[in-house]
Amino acid sequence: MLIKRITVGEIKVPLKVPFKTAVRTVTEVHDLVICIETDTGLAGYGEAPATAVITGDLLGSMRAALDLLAPRLLGRKLMDFNALLLLIQRSVIHHSSLKAALEIALYDLRARAFGVPLYQLLGGGDPQLKTDITISVNDLDVMVKDALRAVAEGFDCLKIKVGGHTWQDDVDSVLAIERAVGPHVALRLDANQGWTAKHAVLVIQAIEKAGVALELVEQPVKADDVAGLKFVTEHTLTPVLADEAVFSTRDALHILATGSADIVNIKLMKTGGISQAIEVASLARLHQRTCMVGCMLESAISVTAAAHFAVAFEDVVSYIDLDGPQLCASSAVDGGMRMNGPWITLPDAPGLGITAVHGLTHIKVFDV
Ligand SMILES: C[C@H](N)C(=O)N[C@@H](CCC(=O)O)C(=O)O
Ligand SMILES: [Mg+2]
């Protein structure tokens, strides 16, 4: 079975409300979509967001890197799978989101070739997951309204974006949301690098002293401030989750071995795909820690892949943040993960279970 054609295009999907974090505001998903086809008529899909401020990936830079990679993949045997993964990982440094999209398409194809859903190819598991939902950083009354709407839709875990205002505003927003939704809704905070280590400790301790038990706090400090991350982990009771601080297995090893965070957020767009995500999950298992499986602002192709991964590694994945498609006002995809409030169910179809992607623009085809 040979790789015969690689098609790249772009999708745009509007969001229900603007997505606002400490580092960016966006109103739509605008992602690269890759389709890899074999000479036997199989097609596998992948997706990559241009999260420049986190991964450094832009639509143009990913397309330029694909110009290099696609010709090297064409004509190769799909079943030389590990060699293909190495080729993707080693042909270019960085470009983690493009690598993820290519790997996802190849894993999709491999599972389709074996006639099984991807999570079964990866080891099996229960194909149902429960995700949190993101509450963007905004004025307090907007955040409370968004939180109440999410709870009314069935979500019992909120990921509240902080770090974009003063530390006192952050404390006030979190306490107001907790008062509004009640103690049975789990609260996660994500500062997206928006605090210094000392500010993070100040905010988290103020919330702890107010009697609000946070489930976790994600990436309180700058991505490269590992000493700051460790300071926060050591000076608060709330579990600390490393997100932007952990892309590669090397990053994960350092964070886990030094106890700089309690939990690691695995995103396919940071690891460069499924093969390295497996390595990070294995490292976490080795260090007797757990992981979150998260997403960037992505639509249903790559989030479906992340859900398949999370299902297969459920022993080490305790937290799910796969709300990308939930934040979208519509879908460009047929098949793939089904969503019902916080519940994600994976189809019993081969591969990712995606049958079509609509509205592709800027299409380019690489052929043998
Ligand atoms: C969408 C998800 N819940 C999330 O918050 N992901 C990122 C930010 C993604 C982005 O800016 O595209 C995170 O920091 O966890
Ligand atoms: Mg995060």
3-state DSSP assignment of residue 256: helix
Check: CB of residue 189 under 8 Å from CB of residue 162: yes
Ligand lying nearest the CA atom of residue 18: 1
Nearest-CA residue for atom 7 of ligand 1? 296
76 by Cβ neighbours in 10 Å (0-12 / 13-18 / 19+) ranks as: middle
Q: Is residue 326 within 6 Å of ligand 1 at its C-beta?
A: no
Indicate the SS3 state at residue 26. Answer: strand
Please report the atom of ligand 1 found closest to the CA of residue 133: 3
Residue 321, annotated as binding a ligand = yes
Atom from ligand 1 closest to the CA of residue 21: 11
Q: Which of 129, 155, 89, 81 is nearest to 312 (CA)?
A: 129
Which letter does DSSP use for residue 77 in this model?
B
Tell me, yes or no, whether 88 and 132 share the same domain: no
Expressed in angstroms and rounded, the spacing between residue 283 Cα and the centre of ligand 1 is: 23
Residue 87 belongs to domain with CATH number: 3.30.390.10
Q: Check: pTM over 0.90? Answer yes or no.
A: yes
- Band of pLDDT at residue 10, cut at 50, 70 and 90: very high
Are 49 and 147 in a shared domain?
A: no
Structural domain total, the chain = 2
pLDDT digits (tens, 9 = 90+) for 335-368: 999 999 999 999 999 999 999 999 999 999 999 8
Q: Is 188 labelled as part of a ligand binding site?
A: no
Q: Which one of the listed residues 20, 99, 230, 267 is annotated catalytic?
A: 267
For residues 40 and 125, membership in a common domain is answered with no
Residue 244 has a pLDDT of 98
Q: How many residues in the chain?
A: 368
Alpha helices (H) in 153-248, listed in sequence order = 167-181, 197-209, 226-235
Q: Is 134 annotated as a binding residue?
A: yes
Residue of 20, 21, 161 best suited for mutating to test ligand 1, as the one with most atoms within 8 Å of CB: 21
Same domain, residue pair 150 and 257:
yes
Same-domain check for residues 302 and 345: yes
The pLDDT tens digits for 279-292 are 999 999 999 999 99
Taking the C-alpha atoms of residue 242 and residue 230, their distance in angstroms, rounded to an integer, is: 10
Q: Would the annotation count 225 as a binding residue?
A: no
What φ, ψ does residue 309 adopt, rounded to 5°? -65, -45
79-109 per-position pLDDT tens digit: 999 999 999 999 999 999 999 999 999 999 9
Ligand 1 contact via 296 beta carbon (within 6 Å): yes
Taking CA atoms only, the protein residue closest to ligand 1 atom 6 is 296
51 C-beta closer than 6 A to ligand 1: yes
The predicted-structure confidence for 204-221, as pLDDT tens digits, reads as follows: 999 999 999 999 999 999
Strand partners of residue 242? 264
Cβ–Cβ under 8 Å, residues 204 and 215: no
Question: CA quadruple 308, 311, 312, 313: dihedral positive or negative?
Answer: positive
| Residue 247 belongs to domain with CATH number | 3.20.20.120
Determine the pLDDT at residue 26: 97
Q: Is 323 assigned a ligand-binding role in the annotation?
A: yes
Range of the domain at 315: 120-354
On whether both 111 and 231 belong to a single domain, the answer is no
Q: State if residue 198 touches ligand 1 by the CB under 6 angstroms criterion.
A: no
Tell me the CA–centroid distance for residue 295 and ligand 2, in Å.
8
- Please give the Cα distance from 64 to 59 (Å, whole number): 9
User: Does the CB atom of residue 188 touch ligand 1 within 6 A?
Assistant: no
The pair of structure tokens assigned to 310 is 């999370």
Is 130 marked active-site? Answer: no
Residues 150 and 292 in one domain: yes
**Do 47 and 75 meet the contact criterion of CB atoms below 8 Å apart?**
no
Does 192 sit in the ligand 1 pocket, CB within 6 Å?
yes
194, 197, 201, 207: CA torsion to nearest 10: 10
Residue among 161, 209, 230, 364 flagged as catalytic: 161
Same domain (yes/no): 175, 61? no
Tell me: do 212 and 81 sit in the same domain. Answer: no
- Are residues 198 and 107 part of one domain? no
Q: pLDDT exceeding 70 applies to what percent of the chain?
A: 100
- For ligand 1, whether the C-beta of 97 sits within 6 Å is no
Same domain membership, residue 150 and residue 87: no
Same domain, 239 and 329: yes
33: tokens are 């979509």
pLDDT tens sequence across 124-175: 999 999 999 999 999 999 999 999 999 999 999 999 999 988 999 999 999 9
267 is catalytic: yes
pLDDT of residue 133: 98
